[in-house]
Amino acid sequence: MMHSAVPAVDFDGALVRKLSQSGPRYTSYPTADRFAASFGYSDYLKAVARVRMRGGTRPLSLYVHVPFCEKLCYYCACNKIITKKREKADEYLGYLKREIELQGKLFEGLNEIEQLHFGGGTPTYFSDAQMDELMAHLRRCFRFAADDRGEYSIEIDPRTVSPERVHSLRAQGFNRISLGVQDFDADVQKAVNRIQPESETRAVITAARAADFRSVSIDLIYGLPLQTLETMAVTLDKVIDANPDRIAVYHYAHLPRLFKAQRRINEADMPDSESKLQMLSLCIERLTAAGYVYIGMDHFAKPEDDLAVAQRQGRLHRNFQGYSTHAEADLVSCGVSAISSVGGSYSQNVKTLDEYYDAIDRNELPVVRGVRLTLDDTLRRAIIQMLMCHFELSMNAIEQDFPITFRSYFAQELDKLAEMERDGLLAIDGEWITVTGKGRLLIRNICMVFDRYLGQPQAGEQVVRFSRTV
């Protein structure tokens, strides 16, 4: 349990300017750029065997990746395929079901699914009938917890989903829904090729409430072309009025060298870094004033939402879907590029449809790379998790869980943290490292201190460029 009330987030522009740098988002540790091609399908099977040997049952988390989108949003950095050819989705669904079946057999009798997340691309690219077929197949291959215990979420594009479809998704078993909005301003929408009238977004939210979805989440992005403080203020007014349970406010990372779609954005339309900082400050100020709790990173939630409750109770966790309330779950992921976290290992699937289909035609899971965690990885992952989710860390608790003496094992890290303490980001006493209100926004910087791999040369793949920490 947490030892003190965590201070509210405190925006200090000068500190953010001084310390903002490129860094990982820590949806995993080690981060995905450290996965190696030497880890393959047989290593994944060994990881599942370790889960079996552990005995007992623990909840399981499931992720399904649907890569297709109808239109290209210029800001997007996801692994997606833009196509209007619906037969592509048919073929993919057939292979996806075979992968799910292979995974289902591996985990048979072991665990119950308590968390399901559909991401993409656009998961609702699948038609209503295809989604029906896929959900029925998932239930044949895995046991699902009852609706009131499980957290079953899907990301949707309000431009392609009718209110009727929202009710259908609820009937198919989803109880949480996440909407991409990004910005309500018409000029900004045009600049990123995502025209989405406010009325469409509101209709989906109204339908989700009527269909009894447990949680409605909205995604926003700041730092997009043509965004100003004024347009952002209007968008925030509309978002607060729409009254979602959760809001994610992401920083747009403009990396046109890495993401081809971003080359279509006019550089001259981009807000400068000072304007972006002011936008972030405005988001924090307006959302907290409207009663939302700052969860961490980019996330806000109503005080009664599961995320905020889990954080207050010390149960919050972080995985590839962001913040989660299901801490002890192994994560099984299906679909191109999807990443699993099973039995002390991470494994990632191939990124192209051809490679994906080839592997499944051989009756193999399409694992292309991964990593088995060492004891040091597991230790550092636990520390990064605690800081990311709870903004504090008990050194004694770590010593109880791992065979180390914290102050000697992390002597160098504590020296670096002492500098951050002087900057007002955190406080260190006999037992606790506690992040201050000012430090909460810069939590990625604090976690980077514990990352053993940062700055080390990487094997094989190109050096990854991370987004800015703020």
- Amino acid occupying residue 151: E
Two structure tokens written together for 137: 């197949």
Neighbours of 463 (CB within 10 A): 8
For 218-280, the three-class secondary structure string (H helix, E strand, C coil) is EEEEECCCCCCHHHHHHHHHHHHHHCCCEEEEEECCCCCCCCHHHHHCCHHHCCCHHHHHHHH
- The predicted pLDDT at position 197 comes to 92
14/325 Cα distance (integer angstroms) = 33
pLDDT in tens, 436-464: 999 988 999 999 999 999 877 665 444 55
Two structure tokens written together for 75: 């800001």
Two structure tokens written together for 447: 């976690």
Higher pLDDT, 417 or 463: 417
Residue 124, SS3 per DSSP? helix
- The predicted pLDDT at position 1 comes to 43
Query: Cα torsion at 259, 118, 190, 235 (round to 10°)?
Result: -120
The CA–CA distances, whole Å, from 379 to 333, 373, 374, 403 equal 24, 10, 9, 10
- Domain 33-332 class, CATH top level: alpha beta
Q: Which of 112, 75, 33 is nearest to 193 (CA)?
A: 75
pLDDT in tens, 357-373: 999 999 999 999 999 99
pLDDT in tens, 237-281: 999 999 999 999 998 988 888 888 999 999 999 999 889 989 989
Rounded to an integer, the average pLDDT of 88-114 is 94
Q: CATH 1.10.10.920: which residues of the chain?
A: 1-30+374-453
The pTM is what?
0.92
343/346 Cα distance (integer angstroms) = 8
Neighbours of 332 (CB within 10 A): 24
32 contacts: CB under 8 Å, gap ≥ 6:
339, 346, 348
Q: Indicate the CATH number of 1-30+374-453 among 3.40.50.11030, 3.30.70.100, 1.10.10.920, 1.20.1200.10.
A: 1.10.10.920
Q: CATH 3.80.30.20: which residues of the chain?
A: 33-332
Q: What percent of the chain clears pLDDT 90, i.e. is strictly above it?
A: 73
Rounded to an integer, the average pLDDT of 397-411 is 96
394 contacts: CB under 8 Å, gap ≥ 6:
3, 386, 431, 432
195 contacts: CB under 8 Å, gap ≥ 6:
159, 186, 189
Neighbours of 230 (CB within 10 A): 10
Which residues define the annotated binding site for [4Fe-4S] cluster? 69, 73, 76
217 contacts: CB under 8 Å, gap ≥ 6:
153, 176, 177, 178, 179, 244, 245, 246, 247, 248
Which residues define the annotated binding site for S-adenosyl-L-methionine? 63, 75-77, 120-122, 155, 182, 194, 219, 253, 339
Specify the DSSP element, H or E, that contains 321. Answer: none
369/338 Cα distance (integer angstroms) = 11
Which residues define the annotated binding site? 63, 69, 73, 75-77, 120-122, 155, 182, 194, 219, 253, 339
